[in-house]
């Protein structure tokens, strides 16, 4: 059996170290704040070594978006799947998102809220990557709502797209207000109340929605 190449392993560890720092920086200052020089200085690495890992600033930004999406999936999307399809899973997905924001998995709150505002009016590969991430998240919320309707826990005339839009709006507003006012309680409490009210209004049995 061939032994792993130590240089590749070291390179992968360094790449992961760099990306853990870039997602934190970008969540506060945006993707344009990333530079090989800054990362080399902050992480005590060589500038040429950091550049060799990514090759360009654009690839560094794209890798940062991918890493943030991986962390988000690990923190929010996958844990919610442990709850059976239905209103409970919709609630749990929203709850996990609010905790992801409130717990500052990224120091700037929701990573994607920050970079969407930065790249929404631009064009190019980074803009496209940010758009895909936002669309994937919205589509996942909508499909989770559809599941709840399919299993008979939401009223048959529930519009999954509309309900998903409203739930995401409540979550993102909580994130924005919390970061702006440095308040980790009131915005999330209000968002939970709003999410609970919307789900109870569309649930076949309002008791399916946990008290908020």
Does a structural domain hold residue 133? yes
Contacts with 84 (C-beta within 8 Å, 6 or more apart), sequence order: none
* Listed residue (153, 157, 163) closest to 94, CA to CA: 163
Does a structural domain hold residue 86? yes
Q: What are phi and psi of 154, to 5 degrees?
A: -115, 150
Q: Residue 45's pLDDT is what?
A: 94
Q: Residue 3's pLDDT is what?
A: 55
Does a structural domain hold residue 77? yes
Q: Residue 4's pLDDT is what?
A: 57
- Which tokens is 134 given? 């936002």
Q: Report the C-alpha gap between 63 and 54 in whole angstroms.
A: 8
Inter-residue contact 204 to 154 (CB < 8 Å)? yes
Does a structural domain hold residue 50? no
Q: Residue 11's pLDDT is what?
A: 76
Q: Residue 10's pLDDT is what?
A: 80
Does a structural domain hold residue 130? yes
Number of domains in the chain: 1
Q: Residue 186's pLDDT is what?
A: 97
Q: In sequence order, what DSSP letters do the residues of 71-107 get, joined into one string?
A: HHIIIIIHHHTTSPTTHHHHHHHHHHHHHHHHTTSST
Does a structural domain hold residue 28? no
Q: Which domain holds residue 150?
A: 57-208
Q: Residue 65's pLDDT is what?
A: 98
- Which tokens is 40 given? 């080399």
- CATH number of the structural domain spanning residue 170: 1.10.357.10
Does a structural domain hold residue 87? yes
Does a structural domain hold residue 126? yes
Residue 152 to residues 82, 94, 141, 167, 204, Cα–Cα distance (Å):
19, 20, 17, 19, 7
Q: What is the pLDDT along the chain (212 residues), one digit of tens a residue?
A: 555 567 777 878 999 999 999 999 999 999 999 999 999 999 999 999 999 999 999 999 999 999 999 999 999 999 999 999 999 999 999 999 999 999 999 999 999 999 999 999 999 999 999 999 999 999 999 999 999 999 999 999 999 999 999 999 999 999 999 999 999 899 999 999 999 999 999 999 999 998 86
């Amino acid at each position: 059996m061939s032994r792993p190449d130590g240089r590749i392993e070291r390179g992968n560890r360094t790449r992961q170290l760099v990306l853990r720092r870039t997602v934190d920086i970008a969540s506060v200052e945006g993707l344009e704040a990333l530079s090989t020089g800054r990362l080399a200085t902050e992480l005590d690495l060589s500038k040429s070594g950091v550049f060799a890992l990514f090759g360009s600033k654009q690839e560094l930004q794209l890798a940062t978006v991918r890493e943030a999406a991986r962390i988000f999936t690990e923190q929010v999307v996958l844990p919610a799947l442990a709850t059976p399809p239905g209103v409970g899973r919709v609630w749990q997905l929203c709850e996990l998102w609010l905790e992801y924001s409130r717990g500052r998995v990224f120091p700037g709150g929701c990573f994607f809220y920050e970079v969407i505002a930065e790249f929404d009016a631009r064009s190019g590969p980074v803009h496209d990557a940010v758009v895909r991430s936002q669309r994937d998240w919205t589509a996942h919320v909508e499909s989770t709502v559809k599941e709840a309707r399919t299993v008979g826990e939401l009223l048959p005339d529930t519009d999954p797209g509309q309900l998903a839009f409203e739930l995401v709006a409540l979550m993102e507003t909580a994130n924005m207000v919390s970061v702006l006012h440095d308040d980790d309680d009131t915005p999330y409490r209000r968002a939970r109340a709003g999410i609970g009210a919307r789900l109870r209004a569309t649930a076949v049995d309002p008791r399916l929605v946990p008290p908020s």
